[in-house]
Structures are given as C-alpha cells and as structure tokens.
C-alpha cells in the first residue's frame, strides 16, 4: 500500500545542524518559561477575580494550562533568535501536509483503538487503579460557556500546536540523524507519553507519538503532525462530552 511505502522511504527532513549546547538552551527556555508563564497566568487570574487560588479548579487549570503551553512558543521564538542554523528540508505545502495529517490520523487512530483496550485490560489484570487526569474530570464536570470554550481551545488548538513544536519539531528533529530512526522515535515518544503523567494513557500516547514522528518525517512539515494531534484531541474531547471520559 502507498502509505507503507511512504513510511519506509518518505523523508523530507534534512539533518539538523545544531549542537548539544543549543539543544539544552532550548530545554532551559521551555522549563523556565513554563514555570514563569504558568505561574504568571494563574496568579493573574487569582488577582483579577480577587479569590483564593484553587489549583484544582477549572479556571485555574485553564489559566496555568495556557501559560504552560504558550511557553513552548516563546521558547521556540527565543531559540530562533539566539541560534542560527540552515535548513535543507523539502517540506510539503500546507494543503498537502493537512491532507497527509488527516489520512495519518485515520491510520493511527485505527491502531490506537485495540492498543487502548489491550493496555487497559493488562493494567486492570495487574490491579492498577484507573485514574482520570484532572482536566478530563473538570471538563466532564462542566463550567460556564466561556470556561468550556477556553478549555476546548486549549485542548484542541493550543496544546497540539505547542506540544508538536517541542516533541516533534524540536526533540525528534534534534535526535533524527544523530541516532537511528527507531531510537529517535522511541525517545521522543516516550518522553511525550511520560509527560502526561498517567499510566493508562502511556502506551496509546507512545503509539500516537510514534505515528506523529513518522508523518512529520514523511511531509517535512510540522503542520501534518499538528493536524493529527488536533483531530485526536478533538475526538477525545467529544467522547468526554457524549460517551465517557478517556485519557487525552
């Protein structure tokens, strides 16, 4: 099939000529920015509402979530300002990248469904306790129209863009051509899954991360992996509302 041939031979990403110091510079930007911006947004919300900050409330999760995610964009802008590098990529057009992303989402989601069921069954058999992530519970609990709209924006638009910049656009890109393709996918996908801090979602998110890396490699355009991530989060958000909560 065409999709498997592209997975094998498709490659529009050239070697990224940045050194390890530049890599750790970006990591520092992300870590410092996420701490500062999430705290700033949360403190700003508490100040504007003249209330005691409840870190587990929906508004506070939204405020800190926007700060946490947008720190990735800020880190990327600072990185591009301080680090000079040349790119020899041959990325697909925006339109073609979106199309590749939509097709990739269909294939990846079909692979995720059985993996979710098998992984959950295995952990249940080992008697691990199933825990929902706090944002999932907060969305299920509901809120004002403005709160729910902002939460949807955060989950479906902001988080996919910002996470793709970090995990595919930077981490996978740095590892790619420095280690084998399998290691580059495994390391970036493993960190991506671990950062969601939930055992039940680890394997599905690891598989999702691997698919996102492959699609990004095929198109050479981060738009393709962002498209998949947006669709994945959108489907999960709709399932929270209309079916039952599952891990994002």
Could you tell me the two tokens for 167?
Answer: 């995990």
pLDDT band at 225; cut points 50, 70, 90: very high
* Residues 140 and 246 placed together within one structural domain of the fold: yes
* Residues 76 and 127 placed together within one structural domain of the fold: no
Domain end marker among 52, 67, 85: 85
Percent of the chain at pLDDT exceeding 90: 63
**Distance of alpha carbon 248 from alpha carbon 170, whole angstroms:** 22
* Residues 47 and 166 placed together within one structural domain of the fold: no
Q: 90 pLDDT exceeds 90?
A: no
* Residues 112 and 167 placed together within one structural domain of the fold: yes
pLDDT of 44-75, one tens digit each? 888 888 766 677 788 888 999 999 999 999 99
Average pLDDT of the chain?
Answer: 88
**Distance of alpha carbon 99 from alpha carbon 90, whole angstroms:** 17
Domain end marker among 85, 104, 129: 85
Q: 248 pLDDT exceeds 50?
A: no
Contact in structure between 189 and 112 (CB atoms under 8 Å): no
Number of domains observed in the structure of the chain: 2
Give alpha helix (H) positions in 50-133: 58-82, 94-125
Contact in structure between 76 and 171 (CB atoms under 8 Å): no
* Residues 137 and 225 placed together within one structural domain of the fold: yes
pLDDT of 139-192, one tens digit each? 778 788 898 999 999 999 999 999 999 999 999 999 998 999 999 999 999 999
- 174 in a domain, yes or no? yes
Contact in structure between 136 and 240 (CB atoms under 8 Å): yes
User: How far, CA to CA in Å, does 35 sit from each of 22, 30, 72, 80?
Assistant: 20, 9, 11, 21
Which residues, other chains included, contact 148 with Cβ-Cβ below 8 Å and sequence gap of 6+?
139, 142
Confidence at residue 59, expressed as pLDDT on a 0 to 100 scale: 87
What is the extent of the structural domain holding 160?
89-248
* Residues 45 and 136 placed together within one structural domain of the fold: no
pLDDT of 230-247, one tens digit each? 999 999 998 887 765 444
Which residues, other chains included, contact 245 with Cβ-Cβ below 8 Å and sequence gap of 6+?
132, 136, 137, 139, 140, 239
- 35: how many CB neighbours lie within 10 A of its CB? 13
* Residues 143 and 29 placed together within one structural domain of the fold: no
Which residues, other chains included, contact 60 with Cβ-Cβ below 8 Å and sequence gap of 6+?
42, 45, 46, 53, 54
Burial of 219 (0-12, 13-18, 19+ CB in 10 A): buried
Q: Which residue is it, tokens 């940045």?
A: 18
3-state secondary structure of 141: helix
* Residues 163 and 211 placed together within one structural domain of the fold: yes
**Distance of alpha carbon 109 from alpha carbon 231, whole angstroms:** 10
* Residues 52 and 123 placed together within one structural domain of the fold: no
- 1 in a domain, yes or no? no
- 115 in a domain, yes or no? yes
DSSP string for 149-206: HHHHHIIIIIHHHHHHHHIIIIIIHHHBTTB-HHHHHHHHHHHHHHTT--HHHHHHHH
- 3 in a domain, yes or no? no
* Residues 54 and 103 placed together within one structural domain of the fold: no
Could you tell me the two tokens for 93?
Answer: 């057009």
* Residues 128 and 236 placed together within one structural domain of the fold: yes
* Residues 59 and 127 placed together within one structural domain of the fold: no
């Amino acid at each position: 099939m065409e999709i498997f041939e592209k997975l094998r031979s498709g490659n529009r990403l050239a070697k990224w000529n940045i050194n390890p110091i530049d890599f750790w510079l970006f990591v520092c930007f992300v870590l410092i920015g996420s701490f500062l911006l999430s705290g700033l947004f949360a403190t700003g919300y508490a100040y504007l509402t003249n209330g005691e900050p409840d870190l587990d409330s929906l508004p506070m999760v939204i405020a800190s979530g926007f700060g946490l995610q947008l720190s990735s964009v800020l880190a990327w802008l600072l990185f591009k300002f301080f680090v000079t590098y040349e790119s020899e990529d041959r990325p697909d057009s925006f339109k073609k990248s979106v199309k590749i992303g939509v097709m990739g989402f269909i294939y990846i989601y079909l692979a995720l469904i059985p993996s979710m069921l098998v992984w959950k069954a295995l952990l249940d058999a080992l008697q691990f306790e199933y825990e929902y992530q706090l944002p999932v519970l907060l969305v299920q609990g509901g809120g004002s129209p403005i709160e729910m709209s902002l939460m949807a924006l955060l989950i479906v638009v902001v988080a996919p863009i910002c996470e793709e910049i970090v995990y595919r656009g930077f981490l996978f890109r740095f590892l790619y051509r420095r280690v084998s393709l399998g290691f580059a996918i495994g390391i970036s996908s493993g960190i991506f899954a671990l950062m969601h801090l939930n055992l039940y979602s680890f394997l599905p998110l690891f598989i999702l991360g691997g698919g996102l890396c492959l699609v990004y490699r095929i198109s050479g355009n981060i738009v393709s992996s962002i498209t998949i991530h947006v669709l994945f989060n959108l489907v999960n958000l709709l399932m929270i509302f209309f079916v039952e909560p599952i891990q994002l």
